[in-house]
Chain A
Amino acid sequence: MKKDPKTLKTGSNKINSIKIEAALIETWLAKKSKTVPAKNKITGISDCPAPWG
């Protein structure tokens, strides 16, 4: 169930204290990496980056 944004406190993740750790990434990739297919996105016309686009 979605939480009410008004009552939701900034959580305990405290992302500013999280450091990117190379060793953890290597472990993650080794455990969870599968054969990755080539990117095959359906692409139509691009979106406009201007705020009013």
Chain B
Amino acid sequence: MMRIVTLLVLSLSLARPCGAQELTPPAQDGERVFRQKGCYECHGLQGQGSLSTGPRIGMPPLPFNLFTELVRRPRNVMPAYSSAVLSDAELRAIHSYLLSLPKPPRWSELPQLRD
């Protein structure tokens, strides 16, 4: 658990600042694969997650090795994606895409979220 937390903290520093919109070619390719393979169905188009279908996987994503492990051998009810349906290169592209997504705004700065 501590290892995961440490890795998460490290990956936070890699997240792109809020507001940056342009995607690098690998990230563009990753977005295409993310949609094509249906990852967005459970995790949302920006990997934001959903209560009933799948957790947040973006903003920021887990480190690539852990990310790969959980896609190939998921812990819970997520179906396993073998390399027959999702190659290592495609997985890396998806990870690049998720890494490229901007940080969300602070809720305290959004009037729609005030009490």
Q: Do A and B come from one complex?
A: no
Q: Spell out A's residues near B (CB within 8 Å).
A: none
Q: Spell out B's residues near A (CB within 8 Å).
A: none
